[in-house]
């Protein structure tokens, strides 16, 4: 039986934002850890570290996120490992974020002037100390804008988790639409909520990128 769109449906969709944010936070935090390891492996002098890291990046950047979600969710169940949509979505998005953040941060590390590395060599610093005290602090400043930009994409990417049954913002909209058959109202509200989440971050990324560009010209 079709019912009208009311305050209960409105709040059901609005409250689903918390799950979109929670999934984004988990994926970003896990992706930050994995991305840092991958970035360090990519700039390593050891081929045994560089090439697997490069293969990982190409695999996850070269395949759709939707397919990655399917493989984690259905693949683990086929192997006899029962996993709910929340865990599957967290794992898939973390792996996805690790690949993209790893490549973003690799580029930022490479953007640090070579003279900085040479100076640290001249001072006799070991690899760990060079990365910790010289390279990574400078790379971190460069990486802020593209990292925030990727976070925007990650928040929007969580909508694909609805395909495996995880009830985040998009899935909540689908559920309400199936009950009310008011697609313009329902998905208009969903779009507005995504805009409220992502637009401030997009502005932040743009402003940070502009500030960094001005700083490098001075």
How do the domains of the chain map onto residue ranges?
A: 7-217
- Express each pLDDT in 30-81 by its tens digit: 999 999 999 999 998 899 999 999 999 999 999 999 999 999 999 988 888 8
Nearest one of 160, 197, 178, 137 to 70, comparing CA atoms? 160
- Express each pLDDT in 102-150 by its tens digit: 999 999 998 888 776 667 766 777 777 777 778 888 888 889 889 999 9
Any long-range contacts for 213-216 (C-beta under 8 Å, 24+ apart)?
Answer: none
CATH numeric code, 7-217 = 1.10.3720.10
Q: What per-residue confidence (pLDDT) applies to 214?
A: 62
CB-based contact 95:60 (threshold 8 Å):
yes
Mean of all residue pLDDT scores within the chain: 90
Q: Which helix (H) or strand (E) holds 209?
A: helix 183-217
């Amino acid at each position: 039986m079709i019912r009208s769109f009311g305050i209960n449906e409105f709040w059901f969709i609005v409250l689903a934002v918390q799950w979109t944010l929670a999934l984004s936070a988990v994926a970003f935090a896990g992706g930050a850890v994995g991305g840092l390891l991958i970035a360090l492996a990519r700039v390593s002098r050891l081929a045994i570290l560089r090439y697997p890291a490069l293969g990982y990046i190409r695999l996850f950047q070269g395949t759709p996120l939707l397919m990655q979600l399917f493989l984690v969710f259905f693949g683990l169940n086929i192997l006899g490992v029962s996993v709910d949509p929340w865990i599957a979505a967290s794992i898939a998005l973390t792996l996805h974020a690790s690949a993209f953040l790893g490549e973003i941060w690799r580029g930022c590390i490479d953007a640090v002037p070579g003279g900085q590395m040479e100076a640290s060599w001249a001072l006799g610093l070991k690899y760990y100390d060079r990365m910790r005290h010289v390279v990574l602090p400078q790379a971190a400043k460069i990486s802020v804008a593209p990292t925030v930009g990727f976070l925007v994409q990650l928040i929007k990417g969580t909508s694909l988790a609805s395909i495996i049954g995880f009830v985040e913002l998009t899935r909540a909209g689908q559920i309400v639409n199936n009950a009310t058959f008011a697609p313009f109202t329902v998905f208009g509200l969903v779009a507005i909520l995504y805009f409220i989440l992502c637009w401030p971050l997009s502005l932040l990324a743009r402003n940070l990128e502009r500030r960094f560009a001005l700083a490098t010209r001075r």
